[in-house]
Structures are given as C-alpha cells and as structure tokens.
Structure 1
Amino acid sequence: MTDTDLVSRLRDRLRLVLWSLVRIPLALAGLLLIPVQLYAYPLILVTVGVPVLLGVTALERKALRGYRRWAGDVLGTEIPTPYRLPPSRGPIARVRAITTDPATWRDLAWTFVNAPLSVVAGIVPLALWVGGALGFLMPFVWMVAEEEVEYVFMNADTPGGFALAPIAGGVLLAGAWQLTPWAAKAHATVARWLLAPTARATLTSRVRELADSRADTVDAQAAELRRIERDLHDGAQARLVALGMSLGMAEDLMARDPDAARALLAEARESSTLALSELRDLVRGIHPPVLADRGLDGAVRALALALPLPVEVDIELPGRPQAPVESAVYFAVAEALANIAKHSGATSAWIRVRHTDDRLAVMVGDDGRGGTAVTPGGGLRGVERRLAAFDGTLGLASPVGGPTIVTLELPCELSSEKTSSSSGTA
C-alpha cells in the first residue's frame, strides 16, 4: 500500500466518522416525528390530520431519501424508493396510499431504530480514534501535568507507562481503523433492510410496470393498425377504385372513342403508379426495407442523409440487435430527427449509438432553441411507449435556449453478425 493510498483510506474513514456525528442529531430529531405522525392518523377523521400527515410524511420521506443515498454509497449499490404511487393527486387518495403502504410503517421503524444505532455507530469509532491519539500524547501530558491523569488504567506512576501508553494508543487506532468502515456498513445494511423495497413490493411494482407496458403496447398497436387502415382506405384503396373505374370506362370507349379511351388508360396508369408509391410508403412505415438490408447503422445513416441539415453520425456496434429492437430504435431516431427538422430551428445535429453492458444507448442532439417536452399524444410520448415494451427508457434534456438531447436506452443483446463501426457527417 502506497502512502497516497494510506492517506486516502484514512481520509475516507475520518469522513465516515464525521458524517456519523452529523447523523446523530438528525436521528434524534427524527424521533420527534414519530408521535406527530401517529397522532395525525386519528385526526384524519376531523380533517385537520390530513395536512398534518401529508406534511410530516413528506418531510420524513425527504430525509430518508438522503439516508438511502448515503447507504447506497456505503454499500456500493442503489437503494430504490419503495413507496406506492397514489391513484390520483387528491389529498384523500394520497392519505390512503400513505396509510396502506407498508413502506410507511417501515419508515417509522427505521426512525425509531436509527436513533440508538446512529449514536453507537458514531460515538464508538470516534472514541477509539480520540483514545488512540491520546495514547501518543499521554507521555507529554504526564510530564507537564501537575495532577494525576489516568489513561487506560495507567498513569505517570505506572511502571513502563510512558512506553505502554503509545502501544495502547496504537491498539486503539488499529481498532478504530477496522471498526469505522464496519460500523458504517452495519448501519447502512440496517438502512437497506428497512428502507429498501421488499421482495414482494419489488415484484408488485414490476407487475404493475409490465401491466402498464402491455397496455401501452396494445394501445400503440391498435393506433398503428388504425393508421394503416386509414392510409389504405384514404390512399391506395381509393386510387385502386379509381383505377378500376377508369379501366371500365376505357373499355366502354375503346370502340367508340379511342382517343378518350387512351386518355383514361393514361390516367389509370398514373393512378396505379401513385397507388404503388403509397403502398411502398406504407410498407416502409411498418418495417423499412433499408433496416432489413443495411441494419441499424445504415438505416440511421439514411435518416441522417434525409434531414435538411448536417448530422454527425457516430455508431459503434460490435454486432446486430434483434429485429424488434432495431425497429424500435429506428423509429425513435426518426421521430427525434423529425422534431429537429420541424420545431428546433437547429443548424446541426448529431447521433451517437453505443452498446455496453448488454444495453443499447442512443443519443440524438441538436443546437436548436430547446424547450422540447414529452407531451401526451406527442411523438416522443409514442417513442416512450414503444421503448417501454422492451424495458427501455427515454430521457430528455432540453433547456430553453438549447441544446436538446434525447437519450434512449434499452436492454439488448447483439448477434454475432458484425456491423460497421462508423462516424462522420451525413
């Protein structure tokens, strides 16, 4: 171990001790919330308990959010929030969600347990550090002190005390060195046990997420089918009906008026060309041929080329994603680029695609005016619902004045088929 590592580890341990001392008054103050919260429950019947309970619970949960973050840092793992979401924003619905949520009562148990635990986890390591340091100072204290000063059952008159005091101090410092991180981890472990979601709560939350994702997927699929039906009815179907009528009229006029028949045939040929073009566009909207032929890299690059402004494309994929994932990412990027072209006022954009730790991450950014938001019924909301079917997420950072960055991330395994890693400006 180098001197730098030793100093760094010493600094970390002293920081743990100082933070434990800060948590002691906070933990003791948290005890005051227990009777207030318990008294608020019967007061709900006379209405005054509703704001009291909501206020105390909000304050308590805000404080416990800091404990979860601290415990997660100590244990090296994230501790998620376990609370149930109320079905509506009304105060009564929120009170019902609080009172029926097991996490609320686990929070109360933690508040009660945390006070003595914080005192023990903070004072004992501090006492060892201070006692160890005093062991090296006691020989000097004994030489200058006029009164008898004891240290660990010894004083200036103890045989060999001037040598034994530093040895005892070293033992205490060694104990403090080992005990400090152990006490912090023990404290954090209890915090995780009481403040983290239980296995049942995690399973319930996961089931709820899957149900919501399935509902969104079904709604998106139904909307897509309605769009296809509408496009077929208003576009290709209408043109094919007109084509049949034109051919029938041309057949009737063939003998009597060949010129008019030829004009109708030309019109029919034009209608068939337009109908074929609309059918191709419809098929391309369902699953673009470029995606099947050239993969995600080529398809994204084709989207960038179609945008009327320079787009820098940076893609590194060691393999090819599964077809449903490719399609979801393609349409997500297409929607983001369409928003850039229509609403951003940007002069340039960029796309970055990476695959790390079995997750596909895509970022689409521009230098436009910003202010973009995910709105109900909007394109980005549709992207969010499409990604949710794959346990994916959409993140949006778009401050007023720009820039705008759309981040897509979803779990994804790549096939062994290689795709080109490329970067450049389209």
Structure 2
Amino acid sequence: MDTVHENDIRGERPARPEQAVRPRPGFNRLMWREVLFLLLNLPMSIAGFVLTVVGLSLGAGLMVTIVGFWVLAGSLFAIRAYGSVERALIRSLLDEDIAEPLPVGAGQSRNSVWRRIFDVLSDGLSWRTALYLFIKLPWGIVTFTVTLVAVIVLWPLLPWITRGLSTVDRMLASSLLAPAKLTQRVRELEQDRGTVVDSAAADLRRIERDLHDGAQARLVALAMDLGLAKEKLTEDPVAAAKMVSDAHGEVKLVLQELRDLARGIHPAVLTDRGLDAALSSVASRCTVPGGARVRTDLPGGSDRESRPDSAVEGIAYFTVSELLTNISKHSGARTATIDAWRSGDRLMLQVGDDGNGGALESPGGGLAGLADRIRAVDGVFVVDSPVGGPTTVTVELPWRTRGRS
C-alpha cells in the first residue's frame, strides 16, 4: 500500500437525481394527457370551488357557536383531502412530482379533540389549498374553453397551447399544493432520525455481541485458569507456572481483541491525527493482492478547526472501511484506490476497485445501509459498478454539520 498526498486532486459533486426532462411540445402521449387534464379542469374546479365556498362560508357563519369550529375544521380537512386528489392528477397527467404533505398534527404528542381542531385550523397547506381551489374555477373555465377550441379549430397549434396552459397549472400546484419546505425538511429529518437510531442500535448490539462472545468469554476463562493456578501454586509449582504462562498469552489475546473492538468504535488515529492518517491506516489492512492506494488532499493533525466535524470524519472512515471490506470479500479485485479531498463546503470520497463489478444498492444490503447513514447527514452516495467492472463509489458529505464554516 502506498500513500500519495496530491494537491491537484479535484472533483465535481456527483450528479443528483433530477426530474425527467419533458419532451418538446408535439403530438405525443404527454400532449394528450395535458389535453385530458385541461378538459378535466372545469368539472374538478367546480367541485372544488363549491366545497371551498360552501364549507368555509358555513363554518365562518356558525363561528358564533361552538359548532362553527367543527364545521370549519371539517371543511378544511375535506379541502386538504381534495388537494391530494389534485396532486395525484397532476402527477399522473402532467408529470409534475409534487410531494405529499405530512398528516395534520404529525409528531404532536397531544391528541385531544380540541388540539386536533386547532391543528387543522392553523394548517397553512389547508388554507393554501382553499385558495388554489378558489382560483381554479375561473382558470378552469379558461383552460376548458381554450383547449376545446384548439382541438376543434386550432389543431396545428394544439401542442403549444396545451403546454402553455398546463405549465400555468404546474406553477399553481407547485406554489399552493406542495408542502412548505420547512415542513418537508422536518419530514426528512424525522426519517433520518429513525435511520440514525436504528444504525446506532445495531452498532450497540454488535459491540455487545463482540464483548460477550469474545473478550468477556476469554476473561471468564482466564479468571478460572488463574484460580486453578493459585490452588496448584503450593502443590505443583511447575504446573502452576505453566498455567500462569498460558494465562499471560491469553491476556495478550484479550488485549488485542479489545484494541480491535476499540478501533471499530472510533480509532485513536482518527481522533489524534485526522482522516488523512486514518484512511492510510485502514488501507494498510486491505487484503486485495495489489493493496489499496490512498490519495488525499485533507488537513490533518490536532487542529480541529481545519478538519471536518468529528462526526463527519467518523462516517467517512467507517464508510471507507466497510467498502474496502466488501472489495476484499466480494469483488475479486487486485487493486483498490481511495481518493479524498475537499470541494467547497463538502468532503468528497471515491473508493474504486478493478474487480468484477455488479455491485448494487439493494434494499437491506450493505451498500443500502451505508447510503442511509450518509443521506441522514445530507450526504450523497452514488454507486457506479457495471458488470465486469470497474467499480467506483462516490461519497459526498458536508464538511460541517453544526452550521460552522
């Protein structure tokens, strides 16, 4: 294994998945779906307008009594549900991916009836959906009329007319029917928290199992052997000395197991010298025939301010460690490479091998577990592994996780 520190290592962020590019306007399947959507706008908008005006008017009129709160909350709940229907239509007919919102009051520990009513009445998406359905009636009349005329009279211009009208619908839906960015972020953080908790629980179970089956069992046997040696000390000093010598060798094995376990929790070299040295250390233990080559452009040493956050360093270290383990066990590779560098406010890693390829991020697999951990801290995990190889795994992590720059 050789380690090369290169100041000219550079790289771009791996491409993030993006929404599929729509085809140019033309007589294609998307155009006919847009036509269907625009013609459905009128009946859908009439139903939504009636629900909104009648429900909100009735609820507002009865607000002088307690019944008004129930009616208004029920109307907003129905309006919110109608918004789900609109989102489903837009996704299926206009290819506009609008995320579904969290349920009203999600994450609230208080479940009283009045709390639920307050959650509905204060839900911003419900009121934005009501505005959307109110606006949709005049717009639905326009789209229905123009589309119908275009189908009958302006046939050559139909693709461009429908694309223009449906683009307005996409913009309206994206601005009024989509959950707020903060709400969506809360949802992602809740999912990420579950992933982190599960990963931490799995790590604790692994440590407990390793201690129970390894060091703990050896220490129990060692205590018993030393007890027997103590009993034989006066009767058979030669046998007692041999037993003490065997116990000494057992102590060395226990110490090595504890060192290995500590390295698996958080290696001292990572804390003391940084990710640069830690990657060199883990690469030296890679068992591929040609070894693992490390190329880094990262600050090291005890200066914590210039290094990534300790949590990021830990994730990067264990990610590379597990990837190298996979390469050694499954890839059939002769060589492996590790590249690490900073790009702006991101830590970039690339682990490659010249093996058989075909690595997949399948649900429940090892790569999927790594990807979940990385995405839990707003990272990116990309696997490029065609059958026959080579394989390259690109990892992007935030340099800081606590708002420091």
Query: Which whole-Å deviations, capped at 9, do the CAs of 1:5-61 have from their partners, x for residues lacking one?
Result: xxxxxxxxxxxxx9679999885564245479899x9xxxxxxxxxxxxxx988852
1:316 and 2:303 are equivalent in the alignment: no
Aligned amino acid, residue 190 of structure 2: A
Q: Give the whole-Å Cα distance in 1 for the aligned partners of 2:328 and 2:188.
A: 33
> Cα–Cα, structure 1 residues 277 and 19, in superposed 2: closer, same or farther, change >3 Å?
closer
Per-residue deviation, 1:236: 0.9
Q: Is the 8 A contact 2:383 2:392 kept in 1?
A: yes
Aligned length: 294
1:272 and 2:302 are equivalent in the alignment: no
Q: Map 1:42-191; keep pairs closer than 5 Å.
A: 60-61=90-91, 64-65=94-95, 81-83=98-100, 112=140, 191=170
Q: Is the 8 A contact 1:242 1:271 kept in 2?
A: no
> Cα–Cα, structure 1 residues 298 and 414, in superposed 2: closer, same or farther, change >3 Å?
farther
Query: Which whole-Å deviations, capped at 9, do the CAs of 1:219-273 have from their partners, x for residues lacking one?
Result: 1111111111111111111111111111111111111111110111011111111
Query: Which whole-Å deviations, capped at 9, do the CAs of 1:321-377 have from their partners, x for residues lacking one?
Result: 111110011001111111111111223322222322312222222222222122344
Q: Give the whole-Å Cα distance in 1 for the aligned partners of 2:338 and 2:297.
A: 11
Greater C-alpha radius of gyration: 1
1:281 and 2:298 are equivalent in the alignment: no
Q: Is the 8 A contact 1:82 1:197 kept in 2?
A: no
Which of 360, 369, 382 does residue 369 from structure 2 map onto? 382
Q: Is the 8 A contact 1:27 1:114 kept in 2?
A: no
Q: Give the whole-Å Cα distance in 2 for the aligned partners of 1:114 and 1:362.
A: 53
The answer for the alignment partner of 1:260 in structure 2 is 239
Gaps of 5+ in 2: 1-22, 49-85, 104-124, 148-162, 300-305
Q: TM-score normalized by structure 2?
A: 0.60
Q: Is the 8 A contact 1:220 1:385 kept in 2?
A: no
Q: Give the whole-Å Cα distance in 2 for the aligned partners of 1:324 and 1:28.
A: 52
1:409 and 2:388 are equivalent in the alignment: no
Q: Is the 8 A contact 2:279 2:317 kept in 1?
A: yes
Q: Give the whole-Å Cα distance in 1 for the aligned partners of 2:197 and 2:272.
A: 28
Q: Give the whole-Å Cα distance in 2 for the aligned partners of 1:24 and 1:245.
A: 81
1:202 and 2:189 are equivalent in the alignment: no
What secondary structure does 2:357 align onto? coil
Q: Give the whole-Å Cα distance in 2 for the aligned partners of 1:353 and 1:200.
A: 37
What secondary structure does 2:386 align onto? coil
The answer for the alignment partner of 1:77 in structure 2 is none
Identity %: 43
The answer for the alignment partner of 1:221 in structure 2 is 200
Aligned amino acid, residue 384 of structure 2: A
Q: Is the 8 A contact 1:109 1:194 kept in 2?
A: no
1:352 and 2:372 are equivalent in the alignment: no
CA-atom RMSD in angstroms: 4.4
What secondary structure does 2:355 align onto? coil
Per-residue deviation, 1:287: 0.3
Aligned amino acid, residue 318 of structure 2: F
The answer for the alignment partner of 1:250 in structure 2 is 229
The answer for the alignment partner of 2:379 in structure 1 is 392
